[in-house]
Copies of this chain bind each other. A is one copy, B any other.
Amino acid sequence: MASSVLEAAWTAADFEDRLRRIGRERYHDRHPFHLKMHRGELSRRQVQCWILNRFYYQKNIPIKDAIIVSRLRDREDRRRWIHRVVEHDGAGGDEGGIEAWIKLGEAAGISGATIQDESNILPAVQFAVDAYVNFCRLKTVEEAVAASLTELFAGALIAQRIEVIEKHYRWIKPEGLDYFRRRVSEAPRDARSALEFVLRNARSRQDQEKAVAALKFKCDVLWSLLDAVELACSES
């Protein structure tokens, strides 16, 4: 990346295209475990294993988002980011995304106590998620925001996931799907706002390349999570 200091910045359109290309090439919708999930080929135990371990990612989202808020020097940028924390933690009568994921677990036969017991989480899942939180803490805030851009690719996948569960995994009670219903609209809106921030702030070629690398890193986090779940919860 050192050589990029002297290279011309990409145009905004070219930069955005390079970010979107990462989704097509590396987003976890292409992971074998995910493909099996969407073809209806996972056992009940495998789906439970995924819900349980993915919860560790979910519960860390408001933490990494509060870190990002604390690192944004501009008040307007903080105002645009903080609703993410509120939407995951809940506020007033709204239960929030974390509670909704716990209800997904319950709808799939996992008790609230089990899902919230961190000793049930696979070490490799913890390492991957902790790596993401630390990335947001230690890299530039532009890189932290760029890492969130997997949400650009999440909207379509989540909508599809609702259909998949309703079709193939009917033993999951329908009220468990609220989490995904929330995210169908939240994820694309959050992604637009984050993309606007990245395009506005990563202006040099070097910063643009760092943003691309951050998004690849985040895809690796999500991919590793599925690797760990697939390895630990295979049926063979």
Contacts and interface: CB of A to CB of B under 8 A. Distances in A.
Contacts of A79: 89-91
Given A82-B82, A82-B85, A85-B82, A90 B69 contact: no
Given A66-B69, A67-B70, A70-B66, A96 B82 contact: no
| Count class of interface residues, chain A | 20 to 34
B91 A78 contact: no
Contacts of A85: 69, 78, 82
Nearest to A86: B82
B91 A75 contact: no
Name the prevailing secondary structure of the A interface residues: helix
A155 interface: no
Interface string A46-67: 0000000000000100111011
12 contacts: A59-B75, A62-B78, A63-B73, A66-B66, A66-B67, A69-B69, A69-B70, A70-B70, A75-B99, A79-B90, A82-B86, A82-B89
